[in-house]
Structure 1
Amino acid sequence: MSEDVKVEVGLGERAYDILIGPGLIGRAGAEIGSRLAGIRAAIVTDENVAAQHLEALKAGLDAGRIASSTIVLPAGEKTKNFAALQEVVDAVLAARLERGDAVIAFGGGVIGDLSGFAAGIVRRGMNFVQMPTSLLAQVDSSVGGKTGINSTRGKNLIGVFHQPRLVLADTAVLDTLPLREFRAGYAEVAKYGLIDRPDFFAWLERNWQDVFAGGPARIEAIAQSCRAKADVVARDEFETGDRALLNLGHTFGHALEAAVGYDGARLVHGEGVAIGMALAHRFSARMNLASPDDAARVEAHLKAVGLPWRMADVPGGLPDAETLLSFIAQDKKVSRGALTFILTRGIGQSFIARDVPVSEVLAFLKENHTG
């Protein structure tokens, strides 16, 4: 009997299911085949995931009579570039896949973003299936259709919106995830509580150890996160309105990632988001929008689960506040030169703040800088 939890992303004729539970890799062929009959597929993955799970996925696809080819890329954020995009596009074309066939993203957020972008542009848009293997990808990047690559000028600045036809989140693969990577993904889980679900954040404060241990609490946390994101995506698919709330912590976080040159040894995406969320709450308190007690509560929870929560936690030091501000200004949450942040009036009370004064941000960065 299946233990899957199903969450639907309601986009009318383009609606799709997120299936969450153990054993989905082995059933991938049946689940994909029931929705996309008679297709062939290109699996895009990275070296780490391939070593542990690729044979199981191939067997699962074979069982559903889905012929597949494989593209294996280096692991890590630095793979989200034009060269890797060209490699994936060329391999899909070389496999003679048609528009009605599918690209399967089998990996974390990097693979999902890159593969989705390739699927969105090859033959002007191919079918796309997300099979996220990291917690971060299962609760965030695999849902909602935002795809892309990084530029030397900033993160995720090149890409398209291209929705998947199906998301298969096999929770069993998370058992092989390094603790650091699981923690990084947990930052995105906590984010959903901090945006507009204070009861969920309180639940996480009580149950985070069970989420880390696996079992029903982990599935529940992933499902709640996916429901939260699906609700926002259904309201605002192309991020013209309140979908921007999903960027809580990301404006500061992306600047920190850029500042370390996307060096995953020093800072991975979820860690940047964790520090960014703490900074967003601390900045909101500085602007007299929220109580300092809320910022302290966020910091205490991140610290309890072992996540970094301040700029001093980034190893190797950071450039000066002015340089960090330049990375923030380059981030895509900028409109006509005005800084836009996701700030908060308290736990679960985030909002979009436009026209945030540059002088206030700079002063805050100087106050909180490691130096």
Structure 2
Amino acid sequence: MAFLELTNISKHFGRSTAVNDITLSINQGEFLTLLGPSGCGKTTILRMIAGFETPTIGNILLDGEDITYRAANKRPMGMVFQSYALFPHMTAEQNIAFGMNIQRQPKDYIKRRCAELLELVGLAEMGRRYPHQLSGGQQQRIALARALAVEPKVLLLDEPLSALDAKVRISLRNEIRRIQQQLKMTAIYVTHDQEEALSLSDRIAVMAKGKVEQLDAPENIYSHPQTAFAATFVGNSNQFRGVVESAVDGLCRVGEQALRVSPLTQLHSNDNVLIVVRPEDITLQSEHTQDNGNSLSGTIELRTFLGPFTRLHVRIDADTTVIADIPNQQAATYTIGMPVFLAFAPQACKVLPLASTDAELVHLAAEAV
């Protein structure tokens, strides 16, 4: 039995369905991230686990005990909010101690525990400072320490880094992961930031319109997406809508262009498909080569330096632009306006069925990026 289980959970607000029949099992000590665009239901799930919302249908079990209707203050949960939610009239140490005071813990224990937690979050010398004397990153560390102070069985984090600047965000997410692994604590993290989800998680639940599209390890979510939405929402990608011409031979038709893919065992000829190719799987050539791969001709119309690589936008036709991420030492020879050939292997093509509902979700993913 899993440590935390959500069984057939649904949540309706009037006629609107925020969460639609979701079942999740989270193991003890696991870091699970709920990833998706705004309105997909991820925060509603977190709030139901915390006890701030009650499921319309379904059950929540913690360590084998049904807590579906238990009040929030009776659940062994620690919550970290996006807005820090620190008490402005209390010092950092007093904020951390708040939950322990409510529990009527001994004063010497509270003092010792506060010192331990300040050390854990790297703010050992700042216990007497007030929130307005701390930076945003420091305030969020105190909020994390306050959530940990009551020794929760589950740590819940609702987009805790979204209000911080990029450098602080990276530093603090590393700290959150370090602390979670050090304490071997079960954690559920809500975000719309793909990079956060990929770097933090043991598993990711990719969500859209109240449902889980794919639940898997970060590496599999990125490299082996199971649905069109998961493929287009997570990571940068080039997307081609086409039709299977030969499933056995691995041949798809995209407009006037034939693309070679791996043999398709789960699809049939004339099926509508979405073909996804990651930018890093594309190479540039100055001339067409005859091989068993794919080659598209186009003209470079935009060149963007992104640190470890350069992203080239190549115009294929009036409706299609393909992006390719090229190592900087190679990209130096390619300039705007230069005609090039884009090459990618059949194995680089991820082919997914594209029903009408999938097409709607792909559009949603594009809007969310």
- For normalisation by structure 2, the TM-score amounts to 0.34
- For normalisation by structure 1, the TM-score amounts to 0.34
Larger helix share, 1 or 2: 1
| Bigger-Rg structure (1/2) | 2
Larger strand share, 1 or 2: 2
